[in-house]
């Protein structure tokens, strides 16, 4: 199996804030997390870097961070392509794309049709916004005249730009053992489309997810952004990961083994809901309580 992806307009934020050190990790993460969500183990990665002009210092930061991402994912960086295209990109602009190949035993392929009534839904903590929704983020910051160099109102030791460029979390080494032991029936990698869309795709036709969690505390960066953007809880959950980068669906009989694995490795997780049978034309995902947000 394979996955191709990029980092989208998060790249614009990193350029404006002059912090390119994490972009390669983002690039690798978007590809290998997708492979993981299908039950695969990433084997190797290739990158594509195109720019108006290759600036050595910036290029080396990107390649170094790609290499870090590959190490975190346990895969090899085996090559790539660079291109200078001054007629396409403005001065100092560039773009990134990546391609990963993975392998999986047929018996370990994720099959959402295994999901049954009363399956448990487990959320795995994200590392901020990851790499999605940055067109909206940039628009809101511009309209509100908020600078990336402004101090975070919820974290006085941090600037807003530093929070936004945090790298996408790579979940391969944390979750692959659970997949190989067949403890996971379905996985949703929470990217564009947020929790509603991605979790919905991880369910079979006759099942729906009920999210009802009091234990989960929404990270402050999402609460702050929702307030300044003046958007609904539904739109937040339909755009961003809102603190959960991966969502696992497991059989209740595997709950203890999964929890023990996550706790042993100090992985932050939350039991956020369950699966029930779905009536015709009803919603795929119902959120009754998501931290501070209710009846979405």
pTM value is 0.94
The 10s digit of each residue's pLDDT in 71-112 is 999 999 999 899 888 878 787 788 899 999 999 998 889 999
Buried/exposed 265-291: b ≥16 CB within 10 Å, e otherwise: eeeebbebbbbeebeeeeebbbbebbb
The 10s digit of each residue's pLDDT in 55-64 is 888 899 999 9
Q: Which two tokens stand for residue 107?
A: 């018996």
Q: Which two tokens stand for residue 287?
A: 């959120």
Instruction: State the pLDDT at residue 89.
Output: 78
Angle at 167 between CA 231 and CA 142, to 5 degrees: 40
Domain ranges of the chain: 2-108, 112-294
Domain covering 2-108 in this structure, CATH number: 3.30.1330.10
CATH of 112-294, one of 3.40.50.1970, 3.40.50.970, 3.90.650.10, 3.30.950.10: 3.90.650.10
Residue 149 DSSP label: T
């Amino acid at each position: 199996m394979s996955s191709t992806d990029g980092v989208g307009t998060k790249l614009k934020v990193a350029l404006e804030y002059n912090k390119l050190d994490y972009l390669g990790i983002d690039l690798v993460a978007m590809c290998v997390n997708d492979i993981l969500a299908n039950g695969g183990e990433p084997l190797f990665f290739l990158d594509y870097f195109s720019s108006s002009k290759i600036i050595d210092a910036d290029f080396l930061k990107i390649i170094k961070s790609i290499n870090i991402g590959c190490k975190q994912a346990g895969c090899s960086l085996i090559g790539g392509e660079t291109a200078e295209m001054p007629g396409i990109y403005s001065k100092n602009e560039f773009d990134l794309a990546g391609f990963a190949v993975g392998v999986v035993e047929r018996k370990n392929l994720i099959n959402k049709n295994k999901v049954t009534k009363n399956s448990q839904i487990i959320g795995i903590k994200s590392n901020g916004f990851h790499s999605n929704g940055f067109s909206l983020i940039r628009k809101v910051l511009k309209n509100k005249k908020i600078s990336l160099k402004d101090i975070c109102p919820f974290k006085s030791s941090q600037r807003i730009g530093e929070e936004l460029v945090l790298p996408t979390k790579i979940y391969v080494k944390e979750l692959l053992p659970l997949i190989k032991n067949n403890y996971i029936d379905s996985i949703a990698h929470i990217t564009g489309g947020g929790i509603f869309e991605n979790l919905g795709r991880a369910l079979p036709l006759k099942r729906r997810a009920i999210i009802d969690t009091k234990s989960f505390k929404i990270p402050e960066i999402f609460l702050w952004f929702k307030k300044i953007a003046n958007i609904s809880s539904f739109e937040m959950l339909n755009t961003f990961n809102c603190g959960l980068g991966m969502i696992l669906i497991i059989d209740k009989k595997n709950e203890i083994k999964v929890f023990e694995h996550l706790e042993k490795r100090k992985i932050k997780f939350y039991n956020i809901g369950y699966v029930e049978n779905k009536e015709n034309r009803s919603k795929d995902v119902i959120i009754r309580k998501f931290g501070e947000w209710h009846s979405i």
